[in-house]
Structure 1
Amino acid sequence: MLITPRSYGLYHPKIYEYWKKEGYEVVRKAGPHSEEDLITYLEGVEVLLVGTDHISKKVIQNAKELKVISKYGVGIDNIDCEAARKCGIEVLNTPGVNTEAVADYAFGLMLSLSRHIARSHFELVQEGTWNKTVGVEIFGKTLGLMGLGSIGAAVAKRAKGFNMNVIAYDPFPNEQLAQELGVTLVSLEDVIRESDIVSMHLPLTKETRYMIDCNRLKKMKKNCLLINTARGGVINELHLYEALRDGEIKGAALDVFEEEPPTNSPLFELDNVILTPHNAAASVEAVQRMTLRSTDNVMAYYESLRKAMAPS
């Protein structure tokens, strides 16, 4: 088996002894990797335990022995699931393991962006200028959630502690959940127009790609803050850069990008952004859960095969 996530086993160092005891030969190659390298690494491999590496159709078609892909995390948009299905490869993920970690991080980005915390540390204290920056409070503001799944719901719970008015758009709305959380379900366009802060919590699909583009950015409030801990492709980054540069919205905090790691992004030029390296799920607790769940998924897969092959 091949394991690529950098943090896999970080807080479970004996996990490799467990694999060995169960008869697995583990190849550890911390990613993300290029398509060519993955093709090479997957020669003779039955199990791929993968993080953010892009598992393309070409990679899958060249992995002749591959039987199962266990995603270390929730989102599987980095895996060509249709190609995997056609090749008879099972794709498994770990829903719910990073909900609280990502919700914490999204809220941390809101606070840091609204009060210029990161900028104050690096630019104003370390450089010795000691100038105060005047931010805005998030207490009592309107928070617009794009997506009210498990992470969106966890963010809504935190927002209630700040007396925020929470509205949400979800393509498959759960009205009972919204009522329990005190969240008002509205249209996508209402979230865009009415929110002081917009926080993205939708998966990347054909329908959500570039959901936030120049047209929707122009409809946001001038003082709006945009937070993205979901997937980079839900926001058109060039359009976002232009909106931030031209003052169409006040600021943005991104933990995810269309290309990771981002290179030569125009967003690097701006001082009204916070950019972090796909870090939202990286809590000790989430890493522990992802390690165990992605491991258990592989074990459960082979156990189901054994049961299916056992004589009745």
Structure 2
Amino acid sequence: MPYTVLVTAPTLAPAGRELLEAGGHRVLYIPQGQGSAAIEQLLAAEPVDAIISRTLELTPNAIAAARQLKVISKHGVGVSNIAVEAASARGIPVYVTPGANAQSVAEMALGLLLAASRRIAWMDAELRQGRWSRAQDGLELSGRSLGLVGFGQVARKLWRACQALGMHAWVYDPFLPEGADLDGAQRAPSLAALLARSQVLSLHIPLTAHTRGLIGAAELAALPEGAVLINTARGEVIDEPALVAALRSGALYAAGLDTTAEEPLVAGNPLLALGNVVLTPHVGGSTPAALAAMAQGAVHNVLGFLGGQPPAASACVNPAVLS
């Protein structure tokens, strides 16, 4: 039976698109430059059975407008742009594609760590502007302590890479079962205990009411002097004015950010004026390989559910609706 599937983006990687086309399903897209209002209008006008959610916000109003909607799948794992409570109220499951972009994000985190620690982006910019600025104050990572907030697949992959550099690691993840394999890392009993040991702090947590602003002025001050902060999670988990202040003062040596509280960044954002920040536009999970895996996983999620073969409950962020 063919279904109508909405992708909340202008396109979907061929690996996912071809699966939909092979089944004869009708696929709708949101044109470039349009936003949440366009999603709501389309859902009110079209008999959409499933949504593959990318970066645009899927609001409560949009979900209410989708009278035929049966299932949502995130193209990735972060569901902060989906009104999950509104979906749950209607008994609509919201699935994710865990692990599909983990390798890509972990490699971005490592790249940001190396670039921030050795001031690579700053020196590149200096050379391009005709200045032979040989910064010789970069941080050597061997022997340094890596603090991981969250220990899912991305954090584990980053830690394995950092082991090869000669680092050691501490992990803080209250949802990690006791006795879980930490791949040679040590478990910190609290966030405060982790921060005190983290010469490099890397964030791998979803955005929730609890994690919003989790890393603020007090937490940044608790880091060792000259620490490096890496964020490939969500920008809102950091109090950005406090981060700017710590970078300006030198309390933090550097930061590498793939995600910020404001996206896209606008002219005048203070992060853009700091030479000790490496910035990328939220593309950690956007390599062709990762996009293909996420597209394929999201399509399998919605078609499996609609076809009576739902994905594992562990991939559902609101499993109560499945019972």
Counterpart residue number, 2:87: 84
Displacement after TM superposition at 1:257 (Å):
1.9
Distance, in Å, in 2 between the alignment partners of 1:305 and 1:128 is 60
* Contact preservation (8 Å) 1:33, 1:53: no
Q: 1:100 aligns with which of 100, 103, 120?
A: 103
* Contact preservation (8 Å) 2:146, 2:198: yes
Displacement after TM superposition at 1:288 (Å):
1.7
Q: 2:211 aligns with which of 201, 208, 220?
A: 208
Letter in 1 for 2:133: N
Counterpart residue number, 2:60: 57
Secondary structure of the corresponding residue to residue 78 of structure 1: coil
Aligned in 2, Cα 1:305/1:292: closer, same or farther, shift over 3 Å?
closer
Counterpart residue number, 2:42: 41
Distance, in Å, in 1 between the alignment partners of 2:176 and 2:195 is 17
Structure 2 length as normaliser, TM-score?
Answer: 0.87
Distance, in Å, in 1 between the alignment partners of 2:270 and 2:108 is 24
Displacement after TM superposition at 1:178 (Å):
4.0
Aligned in 2, Cα 1:271/1:48: closer, same or farther, shift over 3 Å?
same
Distance, in Å, in 1 between the alignment partners of 2:223 and 2:55 is 31
Q: 2:7 aligns with which of 3, 7, 28?
A: 3
Counterpart residue number, 1:138: 141
Extract structure 1 runs of 4+ deviating beyond 3 A: 15-18, 30-33, 174-179
Structure 1 alignment gaps of length 5 or more: 307-312
Residue 169 in structure 1 maps to residue 172 in structure 2: yes
Counterpart residue number, 1:310: none
- RMSD (CA atoms): 2.0
Counterpart residue number, 1:245: 248
Residue 267 in structure 1 maps to residue 271 in structure 2: yes
Secondary structure of the corresponding residue to residue 48 of structure 1: strand
Residue 279 in structure 1 maps to residue 283 in structure 2: yes
Distance, in Å, in 1 between the alignment partners of 2:33 and 2:143 is 41
Distance, in Å, in 2 between the alignment partners of 1:219 and 1:21 is 54
Structure having greater relative contact order (Cα 8 Å, sep ≥ 6): 2
Distance, in Å, in 2 between the alignment partners of 1:32 and 1:246 is 38
Aligned in 2, Cα 1:6/1:198: closer, same or farther, shift over 3 Å?
farther
Structure 2 alignment gaps of length 5 or more: 311-323
Structure 1 length as normaliser, TM-score?
Answer: 0.90
Displacement after TM superposition at 1:5 (Å):
4.0
Counterpart residue number, 2:122: 119
* Contact preservation (8 Å) 2:74, 2:97: yes
* Contact preservation (8 Å) 1:4, 1:31: no
Paired residues, number: 301
Letter in 2 for 1:39: E
